[in-house]
Amino acid sequence: MSDSLSALYGGRGIALTHGRGSRVFDTAGREYLDFFNGHGASLFGHSHQLLIEALENASKGIWTSGAGFESPVREKLADKLGLMLGEGRVFLCNSGTEAIEAALKLVLTLRKGRGRILACRRGFHGRTCGALSITFNPKYREPFIPLIGKAEHFSMEDLAENIDDDTAAVFIEPVQGEGGVFALPAERGNKITEACRKHSVLLVSDEIQSGLGRCGAALASSLTGLAPDMVCLAKGLAGGMPAGALVWKKELGDFIPHSHGSTYGGNELTAKVSLAVLSMVMHSDLPEKAARSGEFFRSLISAIGSSHIKDVRGMGLLNGIELDIPSVGVVKALQENGLLSLTAGPRTLRFLPSFAAEEKDFEDAALILARTLEGF
């Protein structure tokens, strides 16, 4: 491993070279079942033919024209994304954190004078300074306290009761990913939605990890009682290429001119791939397949019977397994046994299989997990 790269992320000890569907291969030619998928960004798996064709076609045109120029592909993408909220307006960017930053700026523009922004305990919204203000985990926030805002964090159960007329916005994940894979109960989501409506508070749904069909619907908000005014999207939006978007209801208004921007946001190369992604999400049975696959996978995990497994939870292809032992060591052992995963807290495993995963892949993953846990 090169010492020129920052050591921020630690090291997995392997270098991946290529992949097909749900499988990836390293420089030694070893095969892995990929339930990591680039932190969930490779939502369609690897070497998806439709995405390859979209990228090849896009590469022959202009790659990026820059903001301010008219762009038919960018405008078409915005139209398609806007449909997620009925009639929406869209800001295109390059990542989930950028979508959150844009939402924060727009919230403060549209609810000027209100002093409170609320978010959830265990919530994760990114690590730039604005996003850090609503990310809960102190280990991410404390080194940068002088630079970040002061959001208030409440449990899912207590959030609705703390919304008032001085609240500008509520930021919430329909399914918490980094924070342990906890889905928002629909009755809680309904109460949060109702409280936001009562006090004219903007409800911002962070669908960066849960959206685009992963959890069984185009937006997981629809499954958890949330009726958002704004939605943040990213992972999977361009099949693994950098892409993000903020979508909001058009009647709310817009940014102050020149108050925000992005050099690469909405570039034509990425936009064409994103259009192919949206076509598959909105006009296929992939979300329904994700819901069925998730239920099947969780049933397999529950049947393992290991004393180390304390809880199995999730929604669609976003799944968490709570253990009674540290998750980091298990993730490493799973990799050694041919299954790529990640953590969702100190004692929770997270599995982010792609749409490419089939029944046998879920069976293989459950067998590898069972065998791995026998060694602890």
pLDDT tens digits, residue range 256-306? 999 999 999 999 999 999 999 999 999 999 999 999 999 999 999 999 999
pLDDT value at 1 more than 70: no
Percent of the chain residues topping a pLDDT of 90: 91
Instruction: Give strand pairing partners of 205.
Output: 172, 231
Verify that 315 and 331 share a domain, yes or no.
yes
Residues 346, 241: one domain? no
Domain limits for position 336: 16-48+285-373
Number of structural domains in the chain: 2
My answer on whether 143 and 267 are in the same domain is yes
Place of tokens 């994700």: 290
Q: Is residue 9 part of a domain?
A: no
CA distance 89 to 266: 14
Residues 70 and 157 in one domain: yes
The Cα–Cα gap between 90 and 88 comes to 7
One domain for residues 74 and 25? no
Condensed to tens digits (0 to 9), the pLDDT of residues 56-74 reads 999 999 999 998 899 999 9
DSSP state of 105: H
Say what the pLDDT of residue 147 is: 80
**Of 232, 266, 282, which residue is a domain's last?**
282
Q: Is residue 214 part of a domain?
A: yes
Q: Which tokens belong to 64?
A: 């990026």
209 and 163 belong to one structural domain: yes
Tell me, yes or no, whether 71 lies in a domain.
Answer: yes
For residue 8, tell me if it sits in a domain. Answer: no
Q: What does the pLDDT look like over 115-144, one tens digit per residue?
A: 999 999 999 999 988 898 899 988 888 888
Residue 11's pLDDT band, with cuts at 50, 70 and 90, is: confident
∠ CA 218-172-213, nearest 5°, is: 15
Question: Which of 247, 282, 317 corresponds to the end of one domain?
Answer: 282
Amino acid identity for residue 209 in this structure: Q
Indicate whether 15 pLDDT > 90.
yes
pLDDT at res. 195 = 98
- Whether residue 312 is contained in a domain is answered as yes
Helix ranges (H only) for the chain are 37-40, 49-59, 72-82, 96-110, 129-134, 138-141, 186-198, 268-282, 286-302, 327-336, 359-373
Q: Are residues 89 and 223 in the same domain?
A: yes
Task: Determine, yes or no, domain membership for 275.
Answer: yes
* Model pLDDT for residues 178-222, shown as the tens digit of each residue: 999 999 999 999 999 999 999 999 999 999 999 999 999 999 999
* pLDDT band at 229; cut points 50, 70, 90: very high
Helix, strand, or coil (residue 40): helix
Are residues 218 and 204 part of one domain? yes
Same domain, 202 and 232: yes
Of 247, 267, 282, the one marking the end of a domain is 282
Residue 10: inside a domain: no
Q: How far is CA 221 from CA 84, 167, 172, 238, 324, in A?
A: 11, 21, 10, 21, 30
Report the CATH number that the domain containing residue 268 is assigned in CATH.
3.40.640.10
CB neighbours of 99 closer than 8 A, spacing ≥ 6?
A: 91, 93, 208, 232, 233, 234, 244, 245, 246
CATH of the domain at 20: 3.90.1150.10
Nearest Cα to 304, choosing from 290, 326, 289, 323? 323
Judgement on whether residues 233 and 118 belong to the same structural domain of the protein: yes
Q: Are residues 239 and 108 in the same domain?
A: yes
Residues 300 and 186 in one domain: no
**Is 182 part of a structural domain of the chain?**
yes
What is the rounded average pLDDT for all residues in the chain?
A: 96
